[in-house]
Amino acid sequence: MFIDKSMTRNVITIDSNAGIFDAANIFDKYHFHSLPVVGKDNTLIGIVTDRDVRSASPSGLLSREETTREMERLSQPRVKDIMTQDPVVVSPENTLEDVLLMMERVPVGAFPVVDRERKVVGIITVRDLMRAFVNVLGLHEPGTLLCILAENTPGIMKRIVDLISEEGIAFGSILVARHWEEGKRAVFPYLLTNNVAKVKKKLKSHGFTLLDPMNWYLDKLPFEDKESREAVRE
């Protein structure tokens, strides 16, 4: 899944010589949080956030006289004075998975998307990623998420899919995650039905263990003790 299908294409940018209040007005009007800063020929030179602008703006706690002096002091600053220079960028050829991993490592909410000449062609935000994965996972359709503990062996996924499909149930999506037990995987099928009692009973009868998806914490794996492991089982 390449990000050029999910990124925002009609990007609003700002010139580096614009005043910080120009940037503030853009943020107020469009309600987003990151603004690419461009130079000549729409070439990216930085990025400015609403937090940058707020930090550089007068405090609402100042008196009127203090605010007037502060406004005078701030009459000259430009976006280039508060922007982050040479921000982390992505290419239209990057995938959604690439961007997810980058956002895990770099604490930002958006990446400018640039071509090989570093010209801005889009921007990809956390909201864009959420929308893309909601669509991929079929979450707009009502259904039920299961969590199945399975051996990490060839053919196991086909077996699970076959058992569920035999009940005439359609899949919205299916994901596989690591498990703290060696040789195990957790399989998360999103089924387009709310009537899953029969298929759950069938999976158990074929030796599969069902876990509670609500108790699944990937960031806490592996669990250190047996009690914690048993707490996620039904």
Question: Do strands 14-15 and 34-38 pair parallel, antiparallel, or not at all (unpaired)?
Answer: parallel
Which amino acid type is present at position 182?
A: E
Tally of domains within the chain: 2
Q: Is the pLDDT at 230 greater than 60, yes or no?
A: no
* 163 in the same domain as 124: no
Question: In the prediction, which pLDDT does 137 show?
Answer: 74
Contacts made by residues 197-205, CB under 8 angstroms, sequence distance 24+ = 198/167, 199/146, 199/163, 199/164, 199/167, 199/169, 200/146, 202/163, 202/167, 203/146, 203/148, 203/160, 203/163, 203/164
* 214 in the same domain as 189: yes
- Using alpha carbons, select from 164, 166, 129, 158 the residue that is nearest to residue 144: 164
User: For 179-220, how does the pLDDT look when each residue is reduced to its tens digit (9 = 90+)?
Assistant: 777 888 889 999 999 999 999 999 999 999 998 887 765 554
Among the three residues 134, 162, 197, which one is the final residue of a domain in this structure? 134
User: For 63-94, how does the pLDDT look when each residue is reduced to its tens digit (9 = 90+)?
Assistant: 555 555 555 555 558 899 999 999 999 999 99
Question: What mean pLDDT value characterizes the chain?
Answer: 83
Q: What is the CATH number of the domain that holds 34?
A: 3.10.580.10
Is residue 139, in this structure, part of any structural domain at all? no
* 128 in the same domain as 57: yes
**Partners of 153 in the beta sheet?**
none
User: For 110-164, how does the pLDDT look when each residue is reduced to its tens digit (9 = 90+)?
Assistant: 999 999 999 999 999 988 888 888 787 777 788 999 999 999 899 999 999 999 9
**141 or 58, higher pLDDT:** 141
- Say how far apart CA 215 and CA 231 lie, in whole Å: 8
Binning pLDDT at 50, 70 and 90, where does residue 5 land? confident
If 0-12 CB within 10 Å is exposed, 13-18 middle and 19+ buried, where does residue 35 land?
Answer: buried
Question: In the prediction, which pLDDT does 72 show?
Answer: 53
* 151 in the same domain as 209: yes
**207 or 177, higher pLDDT:** 207
**115 or 2, higher pLDDT:** 115
- Which phi and psi (to 5°) does residue 93 adopt? -85, -10
Is residue 15, in this structure, part of any structural domain at all? yes
User: For 11-21, how does the pLDDT look when each residue is reduced to its tens digit (9 = 90+)?
Assistant: 999 999 998 88
Question: In the prediction, which pLDDT does 69 show?
Answer: 56
* 198 in the same domain as 150: yes
Residue 21's contacts (CB-CB under 8 Å, 6 or more residues apart) are 57
For residue 158, give Cα distances in angstroms to 58, 165, 166, 174.
Answer: 61, 10, 12, 12
Range of the domain at 83: 3-134
